Structure 1
Amino acid sequence: MARPDRPARGATIVDVAARAGVSSMTVSRVINGRSGVSAETRAAVEEAIKALAYTPNVAARNLVTSSELRIGVIYSNPSAAFMSEFLTGVFEEASARSARLMLVKGEGGRPPPTAAVEELVESGVSGVLLAPPLGEAPEVLRVLRGAGCIMAAVGAYQSPDTICVRIDDRAASYQMTRLLLDLGHRRLGFVLGNPDQAASAERMAGFYAAVRERGGVEVQVAQGDFTYMSGLAAAEQLLGAGDPPTAIFASNDDMAAAVVSVAHRRHLDVPAELTVVGFDDTTAALTLWPPLTTVHQPVRALAAEALGLLIAEIGANGRNSRVPREKILEHRIVERQSTGALKAPSR
């Protein structure tokens, strides 16, 4: 059954694809007279173009048919330090590969408007790179999948139609928690990340895996969302408890920095009276006092690797691609001055 026309604004290639029941890439092939499209599909696309009065964007059409490699980058992350590292990795890799970047930004970790994503597809990009958490944003993925876009995502977990590049969040969190336990801490606080992200659940799972291996560990958990402000609220909850933790593990550096700030406000010495650790190893870990013990996540390398794999997949053009669907890079624990052994109570 034909879908209704779209009168509210000029039809886009995404609208034509939806009406014809094909991908935007197929519509592009028909418009540009390329082979590899059946007569039946070509007729359906031409009917949709006529019904929607679609006029191809000449500039976009010229770009699609040129040899220029154009990559869409969709990003939105509440951590400015994380995004700085991510974009640096993307820019450096794009420069080395002579790729042109088309940037679309959301705000505060929220996806950009659907219309902005559709316009990116309409511009004729060769593929799309997604920064966390957008590799797990249903509304963004729906548009890109509908358009048949080649995708790569940093920090996302395995998806059949997306190249995912990440670290082993669970193993990293487990190792950090073991460090706290080896320092003698038995009252642990944990600040959760955004509940909508798989990495948050993995980091929590690693934390509890380490805790279960030791007896007599008391755990207090507070919900965060990877923002500094959520870290402040979580720290107040944990440190305001009747028997507060002696060590707090926050799921990213921004929230860990907030924990340190609240500790200072409460006149607690870090690490003599409270050990604090984070996750990511962004500049936030070095710009506070004391410098933060944290999990080093190679954000620049993750971004560069994802872009490289995306470009390789584009180059394969669907022909026996050997590009891995998932790539896990190494992490490491970086010990700085925010951690200390649990002191025996004074007599």
Structure 2
Amino acid sequence: MNKPTTITIEDVARAAGVSRQTVSRVINRKPGVKTAVRERIETAIADLGYVPNLAARRMGGARSFLIMAINDRARTIENWTAGRGNDWVDQMLHGGMLACEEHGYHMLFELVDTEHDEAVRQVGRILTSLQPDGIILTQPHSENAKLAQMLRERGRPFARIALPNPEIPSLSVHFDDAAAARACVDHLHDFGHERIAFLAGNSTYRGSLDRREGFADAMHEADLQPVIGECDFSFEKAANYARSLMRGDGAPTAFIAENDEMAFAVLNVADELGYEVPEQVSLISFEDTPGARFSVPPLTAIRQPTAAMIGRACEVLIDATGKTEVEGNHVLPFELRVRQTTGPAPR
């Protein structure tokens, strides 16, 4: 049996009638190649079935062609183990992998403990073994100053998926959590709601703090009293808190939940206690996972631009290859998707 022939970069260069260096520039998504030449090379790659060798590419320069994103280990595993899925992770992979693929890169996804010193140790070991060209810190890792300092000392540019923090100079990619919370209050207030409760996530997440601050500010501006319950993104805690409010005097006529799981808890309690949604109680969720569209009734929700944020972070880090630090502030738009869980306040 004949051994399959290995297609090399030189074969591609001969087929396209260009130099090896020009083929390399196209493979590595570098500028300076005319469109017609780039298309000819890409056609030759496809016709020959050439697959670039990552190890060889790394030998040709300092780049690893890897971008690494890290996420909260305990919470991610908890969601997976409980069978709840994790739309945040799905959207991270969607945005990051497509952006990396477009630039000839690969995306790594790592789960890291949130305790600050342990996070530094874990990420340090990963850097030593894989040498990613850039790192994406999601919350709450984005607020770990020790981790940021270690990355700077190791000369690894990083992006924080969070509001800028003057104590951690970095590339910041985020949406305006506070403005999104205010948009929720405005939407409900326009319907005449005055007793609005906010089901808060976890204060170790910067975005969660920004949302509750935005909620409180909007309520005060409307001369309304904010009601905030600490529910830790949990169905059970949100259900217990909502139940206690809805059974009491002066029950809220509307709820804002920081994730869909807590919003589903409110729907469950409303059904249990005989509340009609939205006729007797309205509800808005952050997150907008696929389940939000299929709940009964479908959830009005803030759609977070998670995929776009991770994709933007990847693109900026890739463009900054060779730099040891990257700074900047990229604010992406959110969307309030109005469905069937919000309506006029009951009279």
Fold shared by both chains (TM-score > 0.5): yes
**Of 236, 248, 252, which aligns to 1:241?**
248
Q: CA RMSD in A?
A: 2.8
Percent of aligned pairs sharing the same letter: 26
Tell me the equivalent position of 1:164.
172
Which of these residues, 133, 158, 179, is aligned with residue 151 of structure 1? 158
Ranges of 4+ aligned residues in structure 1 off by more than 6 Å: 109-112
What secondary structure, in the 3-state scheme, does the structure 1 residue paired with 2:66 have? strand
Of the candidates 65, 75, 88, which is equivalent to residue 94 of structure 2?
88
- In the alignment, residue 139 of structure 2 is paired with which amino acid? P
Instruction: Please say if 1:336 is aligned against 2:339.
Output: yes
* Residues 126-161 of structure 1 deviation map (CA, whole Å, 9 limit, x = unaligned): 111122332123554354344332101223433543
Equivalent pairs, count:
280
SS in structure 2 of the partner of residue 286 of structure 1: helix
Q: 1:74 aligns with which of 70, 74, 90?
A: 70
Q: Deviations over 1:77-110 (max 9, x none)?
A: 5561122112211111111111122321147x77
What does 1:97-246 align with in structure 2 at a 5 Å threshold? 97-106=103-112, 114-123=120-129, 124-138=131-145, 140-159=147-166, 160-215=168-223, 217-246=224-253
What is the alpha-carbon distance in structure 1 between the residues aligned to residue 92 and residue 177 of structure 2? Answer: 17
**What runs of 5+ residues in structure 2 fail to find an aligned partner?**
1-54, 80-85
CA distance in 1, matches of 2:272, 2:162: 33
325, 328, 337: which one aligns with 1:325: 328
List per-residue Cα deviations over 1:295-342 (Å, max 9, x = no partner).
121111111011111112224x25xx8x65111011121100011101
Instruction: Write the letter of the residue equivalent to 1:342.
Output: A
d(CA) in 2 for partners of 1:176 and 1:163? Answer: 28
Letter in 1 for 2:346: K
Alpha-carbon distance between aligned partners in 2 of 1:104 and 1:198, rounded to the nearest angstrom: 20
Is contact 1:291–1:337 with CA below 8 Å preserved after alignment?
yes
| Partner SS state of residue 326, structure 1 | strand
TM-score by length of 2: 0.72
1:175 Cα deviation after fit: 1.4
In 1: Cα distance, 2:332 partner to 2:110 partner: 26
Could you tell me which runs of 5 or more consecutive residues in structure 1 were left unpaired when the two chains were aligned: 1-58
Provide the TM-score with structure 1 as the length reference. Answer: 0.72
In 2 relative to 1, CA 102–83 (structure 1 residues): closer, same or farther, beyond 3 Å? closer
- State the SS of the aligned residue for 1:314: coil
